[in-house]
């Protein structure tokens, strides 16, 4: 796992790439390199920061040049040994044991067709001395990031946006439409660029830049097409697919550990990893009782302890009590894009603890909820279909006003059921696509239009239209499958994989996600509808498989979010920052946020009338992100 950067056809490429590579130091503290390649009509500079995981020798450092190809690569290829043997059968001679060299030789042998052969997570750039071209590629599901900036006659690219901003921020401007999208979602969808000119290479795609200024590109894996293909085929053996995926993700020349929340997903990963490697250790988060009370959140730690004791696995517990006001600016910088999910703090703290114990690689249960129908919104959408049978006059005249009038906290204790009910009535009466979008975004259209600059109403409508286009881009018959596909393409890639990559790499660790794998994806979409949600049971197929290895108390446990005591933080630790930095901040000063609607939102939270903690947290992170961009020289847009 590493950080990569590069410049193609840039007169100042060496200086720019050196700056970007330095900014990516946290992604690879073990080695660094900047290589300038000059050929007729072609100028390429490639940079790399290495976190050594496979073949720890200096021979595997990057950029790696061999036989006219030069590669800078971020990721892990779990089937590299199998591919190595296949390539050796074609006469290839290897000089390292690294997966990096396998990627280079696979590209030489098969070009873009090699990408479907790679089982793993990756983003890379490869220069061909013979043609003078530079090729970029990204893994199928978007686990590893790659930002690309068109500049002059060529491009810049890097693993993180902040690296590009550090090098050429003064040439860029903030994209206000992306900030609107971030305000709606509390993260940034793949199709939105936080700053103009810098885009994210789409998952499952490649692009090739030629020395004559032209570019060719292609898609080698498309989620909507793969889902339909899987749904029309035979049902996969989920037990075998999961076992194989976890075993593949254990490939490493350094110790591997796992996250263990005590929930179904992380427990399933932990038990399968432990079956393969009984020495594996685990890390979990514990929350202070006073924060847990206000948040009305379940206590995960006892379940993690139970499984660890059952397996004889060493469990490291990290109590979550950071100085949030001090840590928040750091987290905003770590997350790179305008993302407002406090779970990133958990990930940073656990990864730092693991790194302090000498662990570089951790396994996560992320991705199971998206693929197998595990989020509350998935079940809520099925309930909403029944709710819509209630006469509209009763829904709008009685149920909704009554639910919205209830307090969300009493005497310092959060009322989780009330929060859920208030959320439910905001979307339950809507058509499918609109209801699904409203089930997990922060505002309805009119609320968001009233909060931001009135001139951005068109941008709000554009964001809503884009959600509709992505959601409806499928040929699946089942509503739960449609939701899972949309979540995989948007929520998982835009939020969960993004914050996991940035938060883990900030601690110079690698997080692997065995559920986020094309084979597991295909298995999930091969399931009949009842194997996702069966009555009131979510992720039914996963629970069926897990009963062989896990105790019933974990298998049958209701979902508990991998979250943080957000409401406690917003109400106490961050109160002064909300007043000074957010309400008195630059987004209000610039007119992007309207002061009075923002004040009302904060007052409703503090009075316990409405649960606006997530909105306030995210707007505060958006303000800090905007300040960081401006400090890097980026124009206001």
CA-to-CA distance for 227 and 221, rounded, in angstroms? 11
Full DSSP string of 35-85: EEEEETTEEEEEEEEE---S--SGGG-SSEEETTEEEEEEEEETTHHHHHH
Which 3-state string (H, E, C) describes 381-428?
Answer: HHHHHHHCCCCHHHHHHHHHHHHHHCCCEECCEECHHHHHHHHHHHHC
The backbone torsions φ and ψ at residue 591, rounded to the nearest 5 degrees and listed phi first, read 95, -5
Nearest alpha carbon to residue 275 among 254, 250, 298: 250
Cα R_g (the chain), whole angstroms:
24
Instruction: Tell me 634's DSSP state.
Output: -
Which of these is catalytic: 2, 258, 351, 484? 2
CA-to-CA distance for 459 and 448, rounded, in angstroms? 11
Cβ–Cβ under 8 Å, residues 138 and 144 = yes
Q: What is the largest CA-CA distance in the chain?
A: 75
CA-to-CA distance for 345 and 361, rounded, in angstroms? 18
Instruction: Tell me 201's DSSP state.
Output: P
* Dihedral of the alpha carbons of 162, 165, 166, 168, in degrees to the nearest 10: 160
CA-to-CA distance for 53 and 65, rounded, in angstroms? 19
Length of the chain: 637
Cβ–Cβ under 8 Å, residues 166 and 632 = yes
- Placement of tokens 């020395």 in the chain: 211
| CB-count burial class (<10 Å; 0-12, 13-18, 19+) for 327 | middle
Active site residue 2: yes
Quick one: tokens of 34? 């900047």
Residues taking part in catalysis: 2
């Amino acid at each position: 796992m590493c950080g990569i950067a590069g410049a193609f056809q840039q007169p100042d490429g060496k200086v720019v790439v050196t700056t970007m590579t330095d900014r990516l130091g946290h992604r690879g503290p073990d080695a660094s390199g900047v290589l300038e390649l000059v050929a007729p009509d072609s100028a390429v500079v490639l940079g790399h920061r290495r976190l050594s995981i496979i073949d720890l020798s200096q021979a595997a450092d990057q950029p790696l040049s061999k036989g006219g190809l030069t590669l800078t690569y971020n990721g892990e290829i779990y089937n590299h040994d199998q591919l190595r043997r296949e390539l050796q059968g074609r006469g290839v001679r290897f000089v390292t044991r690294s997966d990096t060299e396998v990627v280079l030789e696979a590209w030489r042998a098969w070009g873009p067709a090699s990408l479907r052969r790679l089982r793993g997570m990756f983003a890379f750039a490869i220069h061909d001395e013979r043609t003078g071209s530079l090729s970029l590629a990204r893994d199928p599901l978007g686990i590893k990031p790659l930002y690309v900036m068109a500049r002059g006659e060529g491009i810049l690219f890097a693993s993180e946006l902040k690296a590009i901003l550090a090098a050429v921020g003064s040439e860029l401007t903030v994209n206000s439409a992306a900030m609107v999208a971030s305000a709606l979602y509390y993260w940034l969808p793949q199709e939105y660029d936080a700053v103009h000119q810098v885009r994210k290479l789409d998952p499952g795609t490649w692009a090739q830049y030629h020395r004559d200024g032209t570019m060719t590109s292609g898609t080698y894996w498309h989620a909507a097409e793969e889902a339909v293909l899987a749904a029309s085929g035979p049902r996969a053996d989920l037990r075998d697919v999961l076992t194989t995926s976890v075993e593949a993700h254990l490939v490493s020349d350094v110790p591997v550990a796992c996250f263990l929340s005590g929930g179904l997903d992380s427990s399933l990963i932990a038990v399968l990893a432990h079956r393969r490697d009984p020495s594996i250790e685990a890390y979990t988060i514990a929350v202070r009782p006073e924060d847990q009370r206000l948040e009305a959140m379940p206590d995960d730690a006892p379940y993690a302890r139970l499984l660890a004791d059952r397996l004889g696995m060493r469990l490291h517990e990290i109590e979550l009590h950071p100085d949030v006001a001090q840590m928040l600016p750091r987290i905003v910088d770590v997350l790179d894009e305008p993302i407002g999910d406090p779970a990133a703090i958990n990930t940073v703290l656990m990864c730092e603890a693991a790194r302090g114990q000498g662990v570089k690689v951790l396994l996560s249960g992320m991705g199971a909820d998206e693929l197998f129908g595990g989020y509350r919104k998935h079940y809520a959408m099925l309930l909403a279909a029944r709710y819509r049978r209630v006469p509209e006059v009763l829904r709008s005249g009685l149920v909704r006003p009554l639910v919205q009038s209830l307090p969300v906290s009493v005497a310092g204790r959060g009322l989780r059921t009330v929060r859920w009910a208030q959320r439910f009535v905001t979307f339950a009466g809507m058509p499918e696509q609109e209801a699904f979008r409203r089930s997990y975004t922060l505002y309805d259209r009119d609320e968001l239009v009233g909060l931001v600059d009135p001139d951005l109403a068109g941008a709000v409508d554009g964001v809503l239209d884009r959600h509709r286009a992505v959601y409806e881009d499928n040929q699946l018959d089942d509503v739960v499958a449609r939701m899972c596909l949309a979540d995989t393409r948007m929520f998982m890639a835009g939020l969960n994989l993004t914050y996991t990559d940035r938060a883990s790499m900030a601690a110079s660790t690698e997080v692997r996600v065995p559920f986020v794998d094309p084979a597991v994806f295909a298995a999930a979409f091969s399931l009949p509808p009842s194997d996702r949600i069966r009555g009131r049971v979510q992720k039914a197929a996963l629970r069926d498989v897990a009963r062989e290895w896990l105790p019933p108390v974990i298998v049958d446990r209701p979902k508990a979010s991998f979250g943080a005591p957000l409401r406690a933080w917003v109400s106490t630790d961050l109160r002064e920052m909300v007043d000074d930095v957010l309400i008195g901040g630059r987004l209000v000063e610039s007119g992007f946020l309207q002061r009075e609607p923002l004040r009302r939102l904060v007052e409703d939270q503090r009075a316990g009338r409405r649960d606006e903690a997530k909105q306030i947290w995210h707007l505060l992170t958006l303000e800090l992100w905007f300040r960081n961009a401006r400090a890097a020289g980026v124009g206001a847009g």
